[in-house]
Amino acid sequence: MAEHNALGERGEKIALDYLSERGYVLLEKNYHFKHLEADLIMKLDEMLVVVEVKTRQSDFMAAPEITVTRKKQKGIIKVANAYIFDNDLDCETRFDIVSIITNEKETIIEHIPDAFYPTL
């Protein structure tokens, strides 16, 4: 497995543990629609929360959440729409980012609720 893939998987585990401790319930992990993917699909009370996890070893070049471009957001929104349709859901949906910096010295987690919104 490539090192960046291992780091991504580690970040998803960190994010899942972090959110679960705060009452979020996992519905799907790495949910695919066509060539697109949502890292975590969770539920908090009656809210569907689609979570993009970004993990880096440092923020030297940029904070991890900065890498969630508008194009990436559109893809995540398409995946969420497919999940909602496939599961016949009628609920509010929110898009969060969990930004993680983890290395030998530290792990820093930043949860950004409502990080982006679907646009018309």
Domain holding 8: CATH number? 3.40.1350.10
Q: Tell me which residue of 86, 99, 87, 88 sits closest to 51, measured CA to CA.
A: 99
Q: What residue numbers bound the domain in which 17 lies?
A: 3-116
Nearest-angstrom CA–CA distance, 43 and 13: 17
How many distinct structural domains can be found in the chain? 1
Give per-residue pLDDT as tens, 52-100.
Answer: 999 988 766 667 787 888 999 999 999 999 999 999 999 999 999 999 9
Burial 12-37 (b: 16+ CB within 10 A, else e): bebbbebbeeeebeebeeebebeebe
Give the model's pLDDT for residue 3: 60
